Structure 1
Amino acid sequence: MNIAQRLAQYTCEFASDGLPEEITSLVRKRVVDSLACILGAYGSDPVESAIIVASTVAVDSSSVFGTTLRTTPELAAFANGIMVRFLDYNDGYMGLEPGHPSDNIPACLALAEAEGASGKEFISAIVLAYEIQMRLQDAASLNKCGWDHVNYINVAMAAAAAKLMKLNPTKTEQAINIALSSHLAMRQVRSGTLSDWKGCSAANAARNAIFSAQLSRAGMTGPSPIFEGTMGFFKQVTGEFVLDVDSFGNRSNGNYAIQRSLTKTFPTNGELHTAVWAAIELSAQISDLREIKTIHIETSEFNKRVLADTSEKWRPKTRETADHSLPYNVARALLDSNITLESYSLNKISDPLVIALMDKTTVSEDILLTKLFPKHLANRVTITLVSGEKFVSEMISGPGSLETPMTDSDFERKFRRMAKPHISNAAQNRVLEFVVNLEHQTDYTPLFKAMSVT
């Protein structure tokens, strides 16, 4: 069998219930985390644009968070997916390719609602999407070839959609073929000055995946073999790689990829979190930041290439560029001893003090830190004062990592912090109670009602 066929078989054989409690608990945490991100994105320009488009197609199928709007599952997935991704606050995973597997959650929810899927089936689809996306991230880099990581969502979400739609292996394979062949995203979305689309690209991939599964259910076929063909994914995008589907997580081996996903304590790029922690540590040691002569950030090859690649990272003009800038985040953390949503306001980005610190900042690769990557997303910050005194902080990992994972209480605090400006404490309690009982849910209306702006 080719890769798409093996993924289809794995999808159809994947258990719709009976997942270990440890895995179900992780899904609940990721859902709470995603709902926190959704609330934090309410009212943002990209979200409002997506809602305007979704409102033109009124269908009693899937709900859009923060509104009373009902629309098609693919348009709901797009709008809600942008909400999850907008703040760059949702979970992540770094293999040979970076990515954010929770980008699949809002699309799974849109389809679960449309298809009348149970809470257990919704949870299963999420675990399946994580599994396929993260295994693909382990298998091959996309960004080094100029392609965006969301191309793996095409495959993962097409499979998850097929699972929720109860498609057979043949139709599941065709959903994967259509999704991957027709919707390849370029890495330019994360290069230079970053635009609104940086936070929309993943949601668009999930939207396309749902549409591909819908087409397959209606009888449409797609090009095959999509990975191995003479004009397929291997030849055009990644080069050949091995994908051992037999080793994917299942009830027998318990080796589910979701266990390796990471979560965020700051609303910014995950690979620079340790640089932020280092800067916060240094800020407590330096009484007068005006005495700083130089700031030097040593990092991995990936971070230098992605987070300090162009002059725009030293002069960000947009939120999206700022939250993917090593120089900016280190400077901002030195000034504020924290990174928050407000860190990326135009006032903060254009602050003369942060610009002055960025002008003193250089970034270089440290081969030892590159060797730690991607297991550890390490950074080292060295500050030299005018007096010649030096301060160094190296952070190998931090909160949200596999070594120090966020707890249920951490996720609740994150959720309530994002929710406070938008929904009442009573509504917050209803949302959290809904997620606690997620596997027993049969109707998702109470969740959307509780998440409505008060």
Structure 2
Amino acid sequence: MSGHDIRSAVRPDPDQPMVDIANYVADYVIDSQEAYDTARYMLLDSLATSMLAMKFPDCVKHLGPIVPGAVLPGGVRVPGTSHELDPVQAAFAIGTQIRWLDFNDTWLAAEWGHPSDNLGAILAVADYLSRKAEREGGTPLTVRDVLTWAIKAHEIQGCYALKNSFNRVGLDHVILVRLASTAVATAMLGGSREQIINAISHSWIDNGVLRTYRHAPNTGPRKSWAAGDACRRAVTHALNAVDKNVVGYPSALSAKTWGFYDIAFKGR
């Protein structure tokens, strides 16, 4: 093989931004009462917007199983309905409810977005884990647990939005919902630091959806369920990382030619 350009197959260390997120969700202790008070109001507000969305048939039609009859008795409950679904589809349904009317909280920075979108994944996984714990004689999650994960999701999405404009390269801001929800959902499921990093790498490899559905001439209702779709994808990555221990991709961001930096941001 002399004279050929042989590239090493040795996997690199994980990209530092993925490690930073994993360390944060795994280790950081929130000790701000103001953060919890704000998160409580955010949760109440998001549940209110989701219940108002139930008045709109175009929203309600998205909230059931992906195909008729694909229910999961004892699974995740979708507020305001009789549905019991697997946590992946429930994350989509709850996320769609919360975001349908665009009334939930807004964060405007280099990238804009609605950090409470992450509740689609957080509430679905919390209900899944709590009902499972009750069946098995364990301890269900508390609302404070939900608020803790919500605060962390807000911080991840919000801080990334401060410094990165995804819309300028044509990507929709729900890429940050998927990123934050993937991280916290994996931690909620008991994932190790390595599993959290693995799940995050899959989120980046998904790249991002095009935001053309938010702009003329293609504006349409997908903008109302795009965040739910990001939550659904996030819970899929989390379950794959924890339950199936899938392999991660350590340079998903920085890999030359094929990584997110080169593909989406031309190396930036």
TM-score of the pair, normalised by structure 2: 0.84
Q: Percent identity?
A: 26
Alignment of 1:229-268 (within 5 A): 229-230=255-256, 231-239=258-266
Distance 2:175 2:69 in 1: 27
Classify 1:55/1:125 alpha carbon distance in 2 versus 1 (closer, same or farther; 3 Å). farther
> Where does residue 37 of structure 1 map in the other structure?
49
State the Cα deviation string for residues 217-249 of structure 1 (Å, max 9, x = none): 1111232212222121211113566xxxxxxxx
> Where does residue 101 of structure 1 map in the other structure?
115
Distance 1:103 1:20 in 2: 22
Q: In the alignment, which of 52, 63, 76 is matched to residue 90 of structure 2?
A: 76
Distance 1:78 1:54 in 2: 14
Classify 1:98/1:63 alpha carbon distance in 2 versus 1 (closer, same or farther; 3 Å). same
Query: 1:14: Cα distance to partner?
Result: 2.3
Query: 1:54: Cα distance to partner?
Result: 6.7
Distance 1:65 1:188 in 2: 30
Distance 1:44 1:194 in 2: 19
Distance 2:28 2:76 in 1: 25
RMSD (CA atoms): 1.7
Distance 2:193 2:83 in 1: 33
Q: In the alignment, which of 132, 139, 148 is matched to residue 163 of structure 2?
A: 139
Distance 1:84 1:54 in 2: 22
Classify 1:52/1:214 alpha carbon distance in 2 versus 1 (closer, same or farther; 3 Å). closer
Q: In the alignment, which of 140, 163, 172 is matched to residue 148 of structure 1?
A: 172
Query: 1:191: Cα distance to partner?
Result: 1.4
> Aligned pair 1:216/2:241, yes or no?
yes
Q: In the alignment, which of 22, 26, 31 is matched to residue 19 of structure 1?
A: 31
Distance 2:24 2:62 in 1: 37
> Where does residue 251 of structure 2 map in the other structure?
225
Distance 1:165 1:111 in 2: 8
- Asked if 2 retains the 8 angstrom alpha-carbon contact of 1:154 and 1:183, the reply is no
Query: Higher relative contact order at CA 8 Å, sep ≥6: structure 1 or structure 2?
Result: 2
Q: In the alignment, which of 146, 150, 154 is matched to residue 126 of structure 1?
A: 150
Distance 1:69 1:55 in 2: 11
Distance 2:197 2:127 in 1: 23
State the Cα deviation string for residues 25-60 of structure 1 (Å, max 9, x = none): 111110111011111110431331332527532112
- Asked if 2 retains the 8 angstrom alpha-carbon contact of 1:11 and 1:160, the reply is yes
State the Cα deviation string for residues 247-284 of structure 1 (Å, max 9, x = none): xxxxxxxxxxxxxxxxxxxxxxxxxxxxxxxxxxxxxx
Distance 1:94 1:238 in 2: 21
Aligned residues: 239
Higher normalized strand content (fraction of residues): 1
Gaps of 5+ in 2: 1-14, 131-140
What letter is aligned with 2:176? Y
Classify 1:9/1:126 alpha carbon distance in 2 versus 1 (closer, same or farther; 3 Å). same
Distance 1:95 1:237 in 2: 19
Query: 1:106: Cα distance to partner?
Result: 2.5
Distance 1:112 1:165 in 2: 9
Distance 2:191 2:31 in 1: 21
> Where does residue 200 of structure 1 map in the other structure?
225
What letter is aligned with 1:147? L
What letter is aligned with 1:214? L
Gaps of 5+ in 1: 242-454
> Aligned pair 1:113/2:127, yes or no?
yes
Query: 1:133: Cα distance to partner?
Result: 0.6
> Aligned pair 1:7/2:21, yes or no?
yes
Query: 1:157: Cα distance to partner?
Result: 0.5
What letter is aligned with 1:58? V
Query: 1:169: Cα distance to partner?
Result: 0.6
What letter is aligned with 1:34? S
> Where does residue 50 of structure 1 map in the other structure?
63
What letter is aligned with 2:66? V
Q: SS in structure 1 opposite 2:63?
A: helix
- Asked if 1 retains the 8 angstrom alpha-carbon contact of 2:96 and 2:120, the reply is no
Classify 1:14/1:54 alpha carbon distance in 2 versus 1 (closer, same or farther; 3 Å). farther
Classify 1:159/1:31 alpha carbon distance in 2 versus 1 (closer, same or farther; 3 Å). same
TM-score of the pair, normalised by structure 1: 0.50
> Aligned pair 1:177/2:201, yes or no?
yes
Alignment of 1:302-317 (within 5 A): none
What letter is aligned with 2:170? G
